[in-house]
Structure 1
Amino acid sequence: MTPQDIATLTPQERFDLLTDLWDSLSAEGVRLTPAQEAELAQRAASLGYAHDELDWTKPLLAEAIAEIERGEGVPLSELEVRLD
């Protein structure tokens, strides 16, 4: 699929494509850089979480990060329920 092909997709089709691509990645295949790990630790700490309380390789990582970035953090207990 070329960039031109992608440009012809509707917003929903692009979102679906993005979701399919994201879902095709495995946690083992995606590693965070030390800088990304440090940034996530800082954001987690700002929400009152210890870095070791969070497993950044679990599914739904993108959703958790997006919530942190929007300032919509959730209690760890709720996040763990979602991840399970």
Structure 2
Amino acid sequence: MTVTLMWEARAAEGRGEELLAWARRQELPLRPLRRETFRAPQDRVLVVTWWDAAHDAQLPELPEPDGGLAARPVHRWRFESLGAD
């Protein structure tokens, strides 16, 4: 089974590039099958990782940014892949 973890944060005012750079520097203790980073309006950063694991498996996730870098707590979602169309 492939499990996808999504991590999304919104940067504090004027700190979008800093949050993006921070997210890209974050190392996970295990290597996912795939990792992709996105940005969106309002200085939001999204990191998606794919894992060969059960839906409820213990998997490493990016932490909360520190130092007032985020405008709000990180949003996290977990999905099970149903395959590509």
Higher CA-based Rg: 1
Q: Structure 1-normalised TM-score?
A: 0.28
- Which structure has the highest strand share of the two? 2
Between the two structures, name the one with larger relative contact order (CA 8 Å, sep ≥ 6): 2
